[in-house]
Amino acid sequence: MSNHKPVIGITMGDAAGVGPEIILKSLSYEEMYQISNPLVIGDRKILERAKAFVGSELNIETITVDQLDQVSYQQGTVHVLDLDLLPADLPVGQVSAEAGHAAFKYLETAITLAKDNKIQAICTAPLNKEALHKGGHKYPGHTEILADLTGTQDFSMMLSAPNLKVIHVTTHVGLIDAVKMIHPERVYHVIKLAHDTLQKAGIQQPKIAVCGINPHAGENGLFGYGEEEEKVIPGVEKAQSEGINVVGPLPADTLFFRTVRGDFDIVVAMYHDQGHGPVKVLGLDAGVNITVGLPIIRTSVDHGTAFDIAGKGIADEKSLMEALRQAAELAPK
């Protein structure tokens, strides 16, 4: 095994979706092996089937946990930790409890390997929330599973796209619940996570901007019921008192433009669509989802399982490749 490159555990996600296809497509590029040692955690038979979908000639080799230290990672051979959970004829593009359960087990296995320092980072292909729930795992998504299985209380989702990074105070909850969940301490913690994450990435004094909750950030009480004053401003002021370079709350309708222009390094969004919308406008193939605050590095594609095109070999691998790049860059050396 090459020691200077991190081993990245790539979880296969929902096997009925495009995950197996984009994994094979990504691992056909030499660059992925120049920056990392990629290890797929999933089902070998599903990967073998996906070879036909994408026209791949890659060799697929099964390894065990005990063999991890002896693997020689080279382009042309995809190494898979085969959990052997699914039938070879699993229906493509359909929600199923067994695929949802398998997606959970892939991630659970990756987390255990990361905790044991067998792998240095996790990169996740997409799972399907409905299938996950049908499989008996009542989580909103990857992020919450990772937090639960690592015992992490203070975490957030960060989206990274060209010229724009966004971190979220709330994510997978309804809008009314999101507003209820926003409070000064949470706002402060997310600002601190953004600051610490960007510092580790080499930005000495990150410039952070915080969105308001209401249109025009409330415009001094004109919109809303004083949510900015009650829920956001005290958290911003606490961060400022610690020397963090943060401003806000600012109107979200202009803030993302200003950030892409270069005024800020990262935006703190209050709720899911406020942060996700601008990133998705920049391109579904460009965004990467990074969970910050965990004891392990985790990156992900910023798209879903795409059941409508699964099995057709046309899914775009660019987001997964970018997620692998980010995982390799952030992984402990």
Contact by Cβ (8 Å): 218, 231: no
In the 8-state DSSP scheme, what is residue 67?
G
Q: Are residues 170 and 137 in the same domain?
A: no
Assess whether pLDDT exceeds 80 at residue 202: no
**CATH number for the domain harbouring residue 52:** 3.40.718.10
Looking at the fold, whether 181 and 259 belong to one and the same domain comes out as yes
Average pLDDT in the 219-227 region? 87
Letter string b/e over residues 267-299, b meaning 16 or more CB atoms within 10 A of that residue's CB: bbbbbbebbbebbbebebbbbbbbbbbbebbbb
Q: pLDDT tens digits for 284-319? A: 666 788 888 898 889 998 788 999 999 999 999 998
Q: Give the ranges where the chain is alpha helix by DSSP (H).
A: 19-26, 30-35, 44-54, 97-115, 129-134, 142-150, 175-181, 184-200, 227, 233-241, 252-261, 272-281, 318-330
Residue 117 has pLDDT above 60, yes or no: yes
Residue 3 pLDDT grade (very low, low, confident, very high; cuts 50, 70, 90): low
Q: How many CA atoms lie within 13 A of 244 on its CB side?
A: 28
Quote the CA–CA distance of 277 and 300 in Å, as a whole number: 17
pLDDT at 1 > cutoff 50: no
pLDDT band at 25; cut points 50, 70, 90: very high
274 located within any domain: yes
Q: Are residues 127 and 186 in the same domain?
A: no
Pairwise CA distance, residues 2 & 212, whole Å: 47
Q: How confident is the model at residue 154 (pLDDT cuts 50, 70, 90)?
A: confident
3-state secondary structure of 10: strand
Q: Please state, in angstroms and rounded to a whole number, the distance separating the CA atoms of residues 160 and 84.
A: 33
pLDDT of the residue at 165? 92
Cα distances (angstroms) measured from residue 38 to each of 19, 139, 224, 252, 290: 15, 27, 49, 38, 18
- 206 lies in some domain: yes
Answer yes or no: pTM beyond 0.75: yes
**Which tokens is 61 given?**
């080799």
Residue 70: domain span:
7-152+295-330
| Residue 132 and residue 172 in one domain | no
The H-or-E segment that residue 314 falls in is none
pLDDT score for 2: 47
State whether 38 and 129 are in the same domain: yes
Q: Which range has the worst mean pLDDT, 104-108, 167-171, 200-204?
A: 200-204
Mapped onto helix, strand or coil, the DSSP state of residue 36 is: coil
